[in-house]
Structure 1
């Protein structure tokens, strides 16, 4: 997403009292709802787990996964959907310290081998991308590594940079073909434009496919 549309999305977020993450999550929810035919959409997202000052300087892995469950029933307008996503996120942020493993143990959902409980799709938005680190005699640069193995059915990672927004889609080739995921990529961009330009449009009316 180029700088112009990205700035328009951030302006929408400020106007509606949301974060850019919430707007982007809403767009992904619309794509998933249209493609699956379901109105109850659950997306897992990683959180840093450093929401207290006393742990900011500690070395260790504090990341937790939070499941954002969005209700798209009733064919709401895109603006109404943004309100629902905001409510979902705010309620989830209030429970950030509860490990997902503890929730799984308490609820004991039905398990399938090789499947993550509660969600099959993940979304990660990185608005503080890593840059080069210079130390005497050494320069450290971030690199993108491909594992060759999809951890979930579908994962979307978006990163904010100087030129706008870039995305990385990871998917299970046992389930989806490349052309299918490319269609979702294009549809995602169309939904983002609809959120910015036609927020009173209803979810079911969004022309997300070319």
Structure 2
């Protein structure tokens, strides 16, 4: 806020201040629009009807200490009251203006209290709630289950909410709110609609136009989508399944060490492994993958709940001698050059549809999530989270890697209309084998193991 604006606000009479406050919601509503990412999610919903494709479905397991579920319920209600996105519904009344977000003064979540005997029962309940259609026009859009467990020192929190108003970062903010000490206040957060408005203004700026030109060049003459077992149609119901995998701590440490040797991050090291596996499967080194950025670069955005996640392409082409080190260097260069333009919405990068289905450009996406890597406690209880398989596929293929204290776990999610389970398992087997080979090579390269000093 400028000094001049502060002075003008300070000079207002009480009556003028009241009038200004009354007009602010009207002004906000007049400029309300879906972001490009939200619009893609909305369009996806039209493709797949009421299947829970873009729905957050998280199970939080508390162990080791009793948890006050009443306090958790109070914190959830306060969280919704504080964050505009969770009080938002969507109006598509057919007035020619398209769908628009509507922020409500109050929109309590759906809170369910129950008891679950174990993980199987809790996870099944979360999936059942995710499969239940959402009333996007009237809400509520947040569904929360607070469940006692089999013993007094065990409990469950289940969170189900459409991505239209929530993302992985938002989930971490919810956990932060639940863990906040009783004598502290939550940090103030700018409304989601303010960030959406700022994004639209940025797109018209010189930086936005530069980013548009960069991404257009990056995806020019893009390779065809990866081969599938069955032909792609103009649409898909996005039924899906997952093949899970786990890799040991030495393998995860080896990927990190190999990346650091190339001045790269663990994300880049794992991306290089994914590139190798998918290039081998597809028969070409030129691979176009989707990758997620948090979309939290603007001031104040780290405290905002809402869908700010951005899915951007990363073009991987020059594998050099084909070694893991060479792929890591190339992946580092590709991701660093794109990082300067990461604020540009991925949905706007191409006007020509490359693949049929729910995203115009991307058929395969790589996910690397280390947000939950650190140990977390709430009310003295240990917290373990699980992103549950809902039986859907957001993309043709999604390869996810989650590092942790015991190594790395993950899954390959695949569209069952396009791929056989045997194909997905073959890709996972090559991915894990290539990760083990890369880690073994990194270990041999360490000083004292026959590698260079």
TM over 0.5: yes
**Inter-CA distance 75–14: structure 2 relative to 1 (3 Å threshold):** closer
Partner of 1:157: 400
TM-score, normalising length from structure 1? 0.81
Q: Compute the displacement of 1:87 (Å).
A: 0.6
Query: Structure 2 CA distance, aligned partners of 1:152 and 1:195?
Result: 27
Aligned length: 195
Query: Structure 2 CA distance, aligned partners of 1:112 and 1:81?
Result: 26
**Inter-CA distance 73–13: structure 2 relative to 1 (3 Å threshold):** closer
Partner of 1:48: 294
Alignment of 1:49-128 (within 5 A): 49-72=295-318, 76-104=322-350, 108-110=351-353, 112-128=355-371
1:12 and 2:255 correspond: no
Residues 43 and 119 of structure 1 are in contact (CA less than 8 Å); yes or no, is this contact kept in structure 2?
yes
Root-mean-square deviation (CA, aligned residues, Å) is 2.5
Q: Compute the displacement of 1:112 (Å).
A: 4.9
**Inter-CA distance 148–94: structure 2 relative to 1 (3 Å threshold):** same
Residues 46 and 65 of structure 1 are in contact (CA less than 8 Å); yes or no, is this contact kept in structure 2?
yes
Structure 1: give runs of 5+ residues left out of the alignment: 200-210
Higher CA-based Rg: 2
**Inter-CA distance 155–112: structure 2 relative to 1 (3 Å threshold):** closer
SS in 2 for 1:38: coil
More displaced 10-residue stretch of structure 1: 28-37 or 54-63: 54-63
SS in 2 for 1:87: helix
Q: 1 or 2 for the larger relative contact order (CA 8 Å, sep ≥6)? A: 1
Structure 2: give runs of 5+ residues left out of the alignment: 1-246, 443-453
Deviations 1:61-94 (A, max 9, x none): 2111111110046654332221111110001111
Q: Compute the displacement of 1:153 (Å).
A: 1.1
TM-score, normalising length from structure 2? 0.40
Question: Of 181, 198, 209, which residue of structure 1 is paired with 2:424?
Answer: 181
More displaced 10-residue stretch of structure 1: 140-149 or 155-164: 140-149
SS in 1 for 2:357: coil
Residues 158 and 168 of structure 1 are in contact (CA less than 8 Å); yes or no, is this contact kept in structure 2?
yes
